[in-house]
């Protein structure tokens, strides 16, 4: 995985993890109630593997975030011009 991809996936994981923590939902409850396997959730949170957009979207919606809110979080966390870097 390229360095920028790693940074993107780790940032996504950080945002989603923080949002789950803020919501007060326990890890196992969150996965069970939203039909998300723990291994999929772990992969997203750790940013250790490329994750499908479907699974990211599933977690975003399970956290009751809009994609607009999620995008704002990404904009805040990623460096300016992140996608224009080589």
Name the band, by pLDDT with cuts 50, 70 and 90, for residue 3: confident
**DSSP per residue over 17-84, as a string?**
HHHHHHHT--HHHHHHHTT--HHHHHHHHHT-S---HHHHHHHHHHTT--HHHHHHHHHHHSPTTGGG
Parse the chain into domains and list their residue ranges: 3-78
Q: What is the pLDDT of residues 30-65, one digit of tens each?
A: 999 999 999 999 999 998 888 889 999 999 999 999
Whole-prediction pTM value? Answer: 0.88
75 vs 82: CA distance, rounded Å:
9
- Please choose, from the candidates 55, 15, 14, 12, the residue with its C-alpha nearest in 3D space to the C-alpha of residue 35: 55
CATH classification (class only), 3-78: mainly alpha
What mean pLDDT comes out for the span 21-30? 95
Task: Tell me the percentage of the chain whose pLDDT exceeds 70.
Answer: 97
């Amino acid at each position: 995985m390229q360095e920028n991809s790693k940074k993107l996936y780790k940032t996504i994981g950080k945002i989603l993890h923080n949002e789950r923590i803020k919501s007060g939902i326990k890890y196992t409850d969150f996965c069970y109630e939203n039909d998300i396997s723990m291994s999929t959730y772990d992969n997203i949170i750790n940013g250790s593997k490329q994750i499908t957009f479907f699974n990211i979207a599933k977690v975003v919606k399970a956290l009751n975030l809009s994609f607009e809110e999620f995008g704002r979080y990404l904009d805040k966390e990623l460096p300016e011009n992140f996608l224009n870097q080589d």
